[in-house]
Structure 1
Amino acid sequence: MKHSLLMLALGAAVFSSATLPAHAMGAVGGPVVRYASIQGQLGEVIVNPYKVAPLTAVIKNGGYDLESATVTIVPKENGQTITYNVPKKQLLTHGGIPVFGLYADYRNEVKVSYVRDFNGKKETINESYFIYCSPVSWINQGTNYESPEDFTAIVKKVDPAFSDRLYLISNIGDETGLNNRAVWNNPMGGALTWNFVPQIAVFDTKGEIRWYLDPRTIWDPESIYSAGVMMGFRQNDDGALTWGFGQKYVKYDIIGREIWNRRLPASYNDYSHSMDPAQNGHYFLRVASADHRRPDNKRIRTVRDVIAEVDEDGVVVDEFKLWDILDPYRSDVIRALDQGAVCLNIDASKAGHTLSAEELAQQDKTDNFGDIAGTGAGRNWAHVNSVDYDPSDDSIIISSRHQSAIIKIGRDKKVKWILSAPKGWRAPWKDALLTPVDKNGKPIKCTDVSCEGGFDWTWTQHTAFRIDSKSDKDVIYVSAFDNGDARGMEQPALPSMKYSRAVVYKIDQKKMTVEQVWEYGKERGHEWFSPVTSLTEYNPDKNSILAYSATAGASFDLQSGAFTSSPNPWLEEFKWGETEPAVEIQFKNTSGYQAMVLDVNKAFGNPQ
């Protein structure tokens, strides 16, 4: 019996050795050097090295010292070339040459040029590697209409000056049923129920996906601390990406390497919408209070009304509790909201419905707290969806959807100015309202909800960003996406009358005036209307404005109130001052949140 077992073991060993590639076999009793095949003069090719970004790879250095490299992804026929330089610090960090921008389900040719230092001899080597990547694989959502695989881009127009653009599209899939065991309602309220499937990708100007986030290793819908909606993507000055979801905020490079992945500080919960990487090296997180004691002695979790400032180590250095700074009982906008689209809580069966003053007052008398339209801390009275730091006077600019207001707040927690329709603002806030003026600085005739031609306030807007390169301490430019719900504090006679705008304002902070200097979208009408989400942002590299109308084009059954298709967002980029887009791309079958330009050279420490 022992003899048979010995012969079987010897046979297995011989079979294993015989089937290994010759270069993987060392001398008898010696170490096995490697198993993977080698294409060029360097080491192994590892696709998706950090399990986060499937269309990336690292060509290992093969034990050589590399000083610099240039990578070029050879495009498909009539495709878009991606090329970038890689400095030594990135080569050392990744143990080889990081590769970004591969095509899915395709055998990519990657040209690399690198300086190799071996035995005191430096030489420049040029060669090609061939890397296959699997098809894009989204998390299956089980929807009753389009699948995530239908998330596609239709390129309508690209000005040659913008042909090198890469756009990071931050979209939101359906809710998943996997989180139905997670209950967290002590203290009362909060917004934990938000748990949509992430759908994050980078598209080129040919409509091809060149990067996407596989969230499976960092996002778990069954875990309270690893679930939530991935929102607020920003590319930092060092090229890395930051964003947040639920009870986390994170930083990763574009190859998928984790820089940090942190839980929110213990005082806060329910991150969503905005994480601003500020010029002072800190991060401003739009969160909520994890435990707030109201004047009536009730302990609640608040909803989207706290800004926490953390330093590079995650230490909280300041906070802005908006119920102490603004008027949490101003209800004029809240009562005019379309209750079918209170941001991402979309219920088509309530489309066009509003809250009466009596209904709102009755609700506010109850212990119904949480992500519901209402007034006072503990309800969704502010719904802040963006924060932007102004280093010129150490202040923040916020966008409050449920106040239809863009507001600047100083370090002293005092309101500096408010860009909003005057209706409903009491003292002392009404004294901070900006006065609309024309291009000559003359006041425009306005009521408390509307102005004569050439100016409109924003309504349930998203993103209020300071345009740094065009602003100074006294006069600043601010871009915003005016969603347009509750425009004029009312719902129109027909839903088809609604429209959205991308808009830029010029604010004289000394004179307390505001001029509308650019807008786009009104002429597109309801086709371009986004009831929720979206973005308008300036890009200094091409002196341009990017607009993303992120939830335009959804359809639903009026009888059942059920959606029959996802939205079909529009992305446009404009040369400064122009109203004809230089780039126009429509995305099909996806609920958009935001979009931004991704700078691949900046991502590797080479800003242009």
Structure 2
Amino acid sequence: MNKILSSVLVAGMLLSVGVTSAMAIGGASGAKIDYAVQGQLGELVVNPYDIAPLTAVIKDGGYSIKNASVRIVPKENGQEIKYKVANGELKTHGGIPVFGLYPNYVNKVEVEYTKIYKGKEEKVKEVYEIYTAPVFADVSGMKGQKGVFFDKIEVIKKPTDKFKDRLYFVNNFQPKTGKGTKVVWNNPTGGALEWNYNPQIFIIDTTGEIRWYLEPSKIYNLKSAFNAGVMMGFKQNDDGDLTWGYGQRYVKYDILGREIFNRELPAGYVDFSHSMDDSPNGNYFLRVANANLKRHDGKNVRTVRDVIVEVDKNGQVVDDWRLYEILDPYRDNVLKVLDQGAVCLNIDAKAGGHTLSEDDLAAMDTNDKFGDIVGSGPGRNWAHVNSVDHDAEDDSIIISSRHQNAIIKIGRDKKIKWILGNPVGWGDKFKDKLLTPVDSKGKKISCGENGAICPGFESDKGGFDFTWTQHTAFKIDEKSKGDIIYVSAFDNGDSRGMDQPAISTMKYSRAVIYKIDQKKKTVEQVWEYGKDRGFDWYSSVTSLTEYQADKNSVMVYSAVAGMQFDIATGNPTGLPSPHINEFEWGAKEPSIEIKMTNAMGYQAWPFSIEKALSK
């Protein structure tokens, strides 16, 4: 009897719990809301997809809504963010997406929308108050990492009216930490996992305020080989969404953090870094490496930063460009003059100013030392490709090869169309591909046999210089037509003139734009900036120059300017101070300049909230 009674009581309790739970989530009472709402709509969800803490969604509350707009009320003397919301975005997020909130602040958000209920439309205007937490990021523990993403930010030159609404997407990273050194490829060593740094990804306005950042812990893990690496190659696609890669992954997310895809690289490839380009046909071009190459000497190696793979929207491999088969992986002229203290992200001040000798390189070829080391031949860092740009007009790719000091265009047939770089060391089969420098009248400019003594650029005299350890070679589609194309690049300037200067402070970097006649195989330098700023603006590695069609401007990020070292120990005394500059087309001085103190920079570019949410 007691057992029967106990069973009845338990059954009754379970039924009661079940009914209560059902009522809480809806059940007989419907989709009941038992939490506070501020306005006429539903609940407020901050950080709706867990990786973008300065975003929110004001849920629709079960109504149909359309024609929404959002305004983030700025702080005193702050920058207004205001945008319309496409009706498709309202349906995708189940409410009104909110972007641009200030961190650690009670934000006032003005929203306007049309609410449809019982067949009637009502225009509504409301103000929501949304609190956000302070910016959070994993830290290295080093005293230089104050301020999370940067120690301080200075608006050196306030924007002109044309640029005062700019938002700048910044792709930085913190130095190596104890966590990140646990996982490194070791067969051979090197590759993307040797570059295993926590990301620092954020958007700032023109007053220097952070208005968005990526909190990566849900999609990133320094201790996991297939979820780590350096986040690089960020780009806002034509559809407004973000693509990038890290380590063994390439991904696409919208600005609220909603995952569109997050994939491992195709099995035959490893070590994404630097560049992921989207093509008008919907395909993606990724800078990767070969997962397993049998060299001519019979050795199997992972190659290093010398393969471009094209994948379609579903991740199927369409094609690849194996640069060790297209270029000469044993052209070592540039390798001998590189500053070994700054080989892209492998910055070692103790090796500053040192170069590799003929014997050093020869010794490598007689041993099995492979991986992310400067050296010739597949399996070593002979090419160091740091950007790829698909030219859809003739279905070619334009690459920047840092360790060849060259910008190169290669066709779908894997044939080289042209090479923009100094002529030293190119074999006979490449010599007719080298572009000839000319002035504005088409007259040939003599740069000497090694291309190192071109006259300095003067707009009224038509000077010229090649790029040296450059980054980001991009075709300017809007200025190009047929065989006449314009290409932008950031000329970092290491090994300038195929040499190291007597004093390191003689180095300088440039943003530069070239006009190329692809039929005549000539190149004219039409704009530069940076030479007069000297060593203070010098970035030995990383950085970006890119044309912006919306304002007919040129964006420049000198990403590791101002890096300082202790001369005695060679250790850094602080992180660099990256500079953001944006120029009117052809202008000699920037329309805005922003400086970040104590930040390890990679790239930055203008972000469009209209493209992201108003499309």
| TM-score grouping bracket, smaller chain normalisation | over 0.9
Alignment of 1:488 with 2:491, yes or no, is no
Q: How does 1:234-245 map to 2 (within 5 A)?
A: 234-245=235-246
Amino acid at match of 1:75: P
Contact 1:499 1:529 survives alignment (8 Å): yes
Deviation of 1:181 (Å): 3.9
Partner of 1:21: none
Aligned with 1:402: secondary structure? helix
Aligned with 1:362: secondary structure? helix
Q: 1:28 to 1:280 in 2, by over 3 A?
A: closer
Partner of 2:507: 498
Q: How does 1:383-462 map to 2 (within 5 A)?
A: 383-447=384-448, 448-450=450-452, 451-453=454-456, 454-462=463-471
Deviation of 1:449 (Å): 2.6
Q: How does 1:121-136 map to 2 (within 5 A)?
A: 121-136=120-135
Partner of 2:82: 83
User: What's the TM-score once normalised by structure 2's chain length?
Assistant: 0.93
Partner of 2:459: none
Deviation of 1:286 (Å): 0.1
Q: 1:551 to 1:28 in 2, by over 3 A?
A: closer
Q: 2:25 and 2:585 mapped to 1: Cα distance?
A: 63
Partner of 1:231: 232
Deviation of 1:364 (Å): 2.2
Partner of 2:98: 99
Q: 2:486 and 2:183 mapped to 1: Cα distance?
A: 43
Deviation of 1:249 (Å): 0.3
Amino acid at match of 1:396: I
Partner of 2:611: 602
Q: 2:276 and 2:233 mapped to 1: Cα distance?
A: 5
Range with bigger deviation, 109-118 or 135-144: 135-144
Deviation of 1:31 (Å): 6.7
Deviation of 1:30 (Å): 5.2
Q: 1:553 and 1:546 mapped to 2: Cα distance?
A: 19
Deviation of 1:245 (Å): 0.2
Deviation of 1:579 (Å): 1.1
Deviation of 1:445 (Å): 1.3
1:358-405 Cα deviation digits (max 9, x unpaired)? 111112221000000000000000000000011111100000000010
Aligned with 2:185: secondary structure? coil
Q: 1:181 and 1:392 mapped to 2: Cα distance?
A: 45
Q: 1:335 and 1:449 mapped to 2: Cα distance?
A: 16
Q: 1:414 and 1:507 mapped to 2: Cα distance?
A: 18
Contact 1:238 1:603 survives alignment (8 Å): yes
Q: 1:354 and 1:144 mapped to 2: Cα distance?
A: 31
Q: 1:27 and 1:56 mapped to 2: Cα distance?
A: 28
Q: 2:330 and 2:44 mapped to 1: Cα distance?
A: 59
Partner of 1:288: 289
Match of 1:468 among 471, 477, 480: 477
Contact 1:188 1:301 survives alignment (8 Å): no
1:544-595 Cα deviation digits (max 9, x unpaired)? 0011000011111122221110000111000000011001000111010000
Deviation of 1:510 (Å): 0.6
Partner of 2:142: 143
Partner of 1:206: 207
Amino acid at match of 1:435: T
Quote the RMSD (CA, aligned, Å).
Answer: 2.0
Q: 2:423 and 2:29 mapped to 1: Cα distance?
A: 81
Partner of 1:156: 156
Contact 2:493 2:540 survives alignment (8 Å): yes
Deviation of 1:502 (Å): 0.1
Partner of 2:371: 370
Contact 1:189 1:379 survives alignment (8 Å): no
Structure 2 residue ranges without an equivalent (≥5): 457-462
Amino acid at match of 2:574: S
Q: 1:169 and 1:596 mapped to 2: Cα distance?
A: 7
Deviation of 1:35 (Å): 3.4
Q: How does 1:5-154 map to 2 (within 5 A)?
A: 33-149=32-148, 151=150, 152-154=152-154
Deviation of 1:189 (Å): 5.3
Deviation of 1:185 (Å): 2.8
Partner of 1:20: none
Q: 1:29 to 1:283 in 2, by over 3 A?
A: closer
Deviation of 1:29 (Å): 8.7
Partner of 2:383: 382
Aligned with 2:162: secondary structure? helix
Aligned with 1:525: secondary structure? helix
Aligned with 2:66: secondary structure? strand
Partner of 2:261: 260
Q: 1:27 and 1:384 mapped to 2: Cα distance?
A: 56
User: What's the TM-score once normalised by structure 1's chain length?
Assistant: 0.94
1:168-194 Cα deviation digits (max 9, x unpaired)? 010011113224443533366534211
Q: 1:485 and 1:120 mapped to 2: Cα distance?
A: 67
Percent of aligned positions that are identical: 60
1:194-232 Cα deviation digits (max 9, x unpaired)? 101100110000110000000110010111110000000
Amino acid at match of 1:452: P
Q: In the comparison of the two structures, how many residue pairs are matched?
A: 590
Partner of 1:355: 356
Partner of 1:477: 486
Q: 1:566 and 1:26 mapped to 2: Cα distance?
A: 51
Amino acid at match of 1:602: K
Alignment of 1:219 with 2:220, yes or no, is yes
Q: 1:418 and 1:146 mapped to 2: Cα distance?
A: 41
Contact 1:254 1:603 survives alignment (8 Å): yes
Contact 2:149 2:200 survives alignment (8 Å): no
Q: 2:201 and 2:28 mapped to 1: Cα distance?
A: 48
Amino acid at match of 1:239: G
Partner of 1:297: 298
Partner of 1:533: 542
1:120-141 Cα deviation digits (max 9, x unpaired)? 1112111110000011111111
